[in-house]
Structure 1
């Protein structure tokens, strides 16, 4: 198959990615391809997938980086206060007004969930930032909470945008993981995600196609519509050719339900032993009763 024939079967998105790679002697990463082509990240990913299948582009590098970002809860903590800060401030304000707050008083607040407050109170007591006084009242000891201070620093820092977790100290990483979203607990200020950045370069087959890429290939159309047939404009349009050598989508083959297979197997064994199948109200009712009440 000639190079010109190969280019005719390329999608316009594939052509833009090939042109961007052809202008660079080295490799280009996903974000760089987005910048060079002006396409959306999803379009670049789709085009690169097609080109990899056609062996016109190869994967040259792959690097996974763990990033930390704020959740909606984290944004709220940054703009207002974390449970640790809110508890200390509430106890201080109550003391200045000549009153006192108990754990039960704090848990009736609608600002945070009772579970969040219980966790924060336990941590503040452990770090001796607050203590229980006579009658179960809470009072501030004047000793700072290292976790609260570190959490505020991290909220201010991550609020600027997602950052690699390796940019933080071991203690900060521990706090980030402690207050990150986990399965079964989504009400946390931080989210930790792995982002994989891949680099691509042209294969020899891809290099051979670069001189044959046409300008204006984006004007090709891949679908014949009733409007094109009606006004006859299809005669002056270029249709994108398809490659019949590509693998079609895999079809999921259906199969019988396991319980249905079991029933058929029992039926086959009984009839092979000489029993005869019969149909009647008594038998149907018996099998319905067994299926509905006793059979899993």
Structure 2
């Protein structure tokens, strides 16, 4: 608990600097481009359109959903959170090298560095969620209480994957093999996380339960419960149980690894 208290205390004391650096990182990424921030949304838009054409037009996947709600909403509910998670699984697992000057030259709290990148990526995610809601209302769907699950999903996603970024960045700083392993797992996680298929339609309870231990699947399920399935996430208790178990285990692992390795990172870099 002492380690957790230390991390939270540092995050709070340095909150203004962390937020400023996160927004600055976002501005720096779009600097020099004529269209500026629009490029943050160009790649996701292309991905969504390509997947929509391949799955709905090409493979007729929409016919398998049994719903009158446009298939594009189901697809966006899976792909939009993935764009944030993909950044965490890519750059987010190696943030100490990305911001090495904060580690080696400035006395900046180590636990706050992953939050910088998480914030800059999260701002883009918020813009994508707004786009999702625009499509949602253009499809003629109503403003209802189920949509309240979106902000809850956003908070849970940010907290969990910010924690995930911290522990993986610590391990990546010490072991390059671990970083390569995580990058290798990025593509399998996409195909095994229920992003482009419905986990609950597999008809194999054991596999469904295993997939529910994947936090990506949980977040995607929450997005779709809000905008497509029109149900509450607690109607799928196995999803909540799986996420809670993984969250607690990840938290404990993060605290242990942080306590044992955070003083070595500066020397390694």
Greater fraction strand: 1
TM-score by shorter chain over 0.5: no
TM-score normalized with structure 1 length: 0.26
What is the TM-score when the length of structure 2 is the normalising length?
Answer: 0.28
